A = this chain, B = another copy of it.
Amino acid sequence: MKHTDISKLLEQVREEKPLVHNITNIVVANFVANGLLAMGASPVMANAVEEVADMVKIANSLVINIGTLTSTQVEAMLIAGTAANHLGVPVILDPVGAGATPYRTETVQRILKTVKVDILRGNSAEVANVIGQNWLIKGVDSQEDGGDVVNLAQTAARKLDCVVVVTGKDDVVTDGNETFLVSNGDAILTKVTGTGCLVSSVIAAFAGITDQRIHAAVAALSFYGVAAEIAAEKVGHSGPGSFQIELLNQLANVTKEEIGKHSRISKIES
């Protein structure tokens, strides 16, 4: 995938302004909406069981994010996901904190049993939990070459029959056949809440304008990572408050020239 492809997809997002329906948590709802608006997409947040199926009808993609679950919200997720499947609206699942409590682990399984997920986006511990692996987080952090993370992502993609995105120092994107490594981003992203949730919704924005899901995910990750790099350089050592704001700025401002210059994508031979 070339950086010109990324720029073309980004341009398409900014022109078509895909409507991204987010069923998401109370911590990041504002940040995610602002990030989507900044990049040129149209966010909508709706959680009520009474309306989610109708909202999916006018949406270009659906994000299910389990960050602050309630039992009613889980019902809404199942209804919305089922409706999206019927309509061919791509579903992006963000299993926030899967494995932290049995409720999260079980809810993810319940969603996967009812809803065909098109793209799963999580960190390595979350994705491992989703496919029933006991993944030691310390272990992951020490493997900087990403070897095992690639294996994890591919195993998950084959098991769940979907595109899997494992974000971390490098991001892995795979459908079980093709595998890409995206090496953009900055460590300060971990100091701002919702930067992972937002990337899931950015992926959804790209998935809302192309059926090539793996390309949508790669483009989203590289675009987002480049925006983060430029933002981090701009704010220097100011701190995570300034970075959070500058990231929103850069999601609006990143140009194809900057993507061409900073985008770092490699294909992994399997």
Query: Residues on A close to B: CB < 8 A?
Result: 25-31, 33-34, 37-38, 43-48, 50-51, 54-55, 58, 67-72, 97, 100-104, 190-194, 237-242, 244-253
Q: Determine how close the nearest CB of chain B comes to the CB of A202; give it in whole angstroms.
A: 15
Residues of B contacting A240 with CB < 8 Å?
A: 34, 37-38, 248-249, 252
Given contacts A44-B97, A47-B70, A48-B71, could you give 6 more A-B pairs where the C-beta distance is less than 8 Å? A30-B193, A34-B241, A37-B192, A46-B97, A48-B103, A237-B253
User: Among the interface residues A30, A47, A241, which one has the most CB atoms of the partner chain B within 10 A?
Assistant: A241
Residues of B contacting A101 with CB < 8 Å?
A: 46, 51, 54-55
In this complex, what residue of B is CB-closest to A27? Answer: B29
In this complex, what residue of B is CB-closest to A55? Answer: B101
In this complex, what residue of B is CB-closest to A50? Answer: B103
Cα–Cα, bound, A246→B58 (Å):
33
Oligomer copy total? 3
Say yes or no: A45 contacts B67, CB within 8 Å.
yes
Say yes or no: B241 contacts A241, CB within 8 Å.
no
Assess A30 versus B33: contact at CB under 8 Å? Given A38-B191, A45-B68, A69-B48. no
Say yes or no: B249 contacts A38, CB within 8 Å.
no
Residues of B contacting A71 with CB < 8 Å?
A: 48, 50
In this complex, what residue of B is CB-closest to A252? Answer: B239
Residues of B contacting A44 with CB < 8 Å?
A: 97, 100
| Partner pick for A242 among B47, B102, B245, CB 8 A cutoff | B245
Q: Determine how close the nearest CB of chain B comes to the CB of A257; give it in whole angstroms.
A: 16
In this complex, what residue of B is CB-closest to A47? Answer: B68
| Partner pick for A245 among B55, B58, B244, CB 8 A cutoff | B244
Q: Determine how close the nearest CB of chain B comes to the CB of A47; give it in whole angstroms.
A: 6
Assess A58 versus B100: contact at CB under 8 Å? Given A71-B48, A241-B249. yes
In this complex, what residue of B is CB-closest to A43? Answer: B193
Residues of B contacting A193 with CB < 8 Å?
A: 30, 33-34, 37, 43
Residues of B contacting A55 with CB < 8 Å?
A: 100-101
Cα–Cα, bound, A102→B72 (Å):
19
Q: Determine how close the nearest CB of chain B comes to the CB of A151; give it in whole angstroms.
A: 27
Assess A241 versus B33: contact at CB under 8 Å? Given A48-B103, A72-B70, A100-B44. no
Residues of B contacting A102 with CB < 8 Å?
A: 51, 54
Q: Determine how close the nearest CB of chain B comes to the CB of A28; give it in whole angstroms.
A: 7
Show 25 residue pairs from A and B whose CB-CB distance is below 8 angstroms, ordered by the A residue. A26-B26, A26-B29, A27-B30, A27-B33, A30-B30, A37-B191, A37-B192, A38-B191, A43-B193, A44-B97, A45-B67, A46-B68, A46-B69, A48-B68, A48-B71, A48-B103, A51-B69, A54-B101, A55-B101, A58-B100, A70-B72, A239-B250, A241-B245, A242-B246, A244-B248
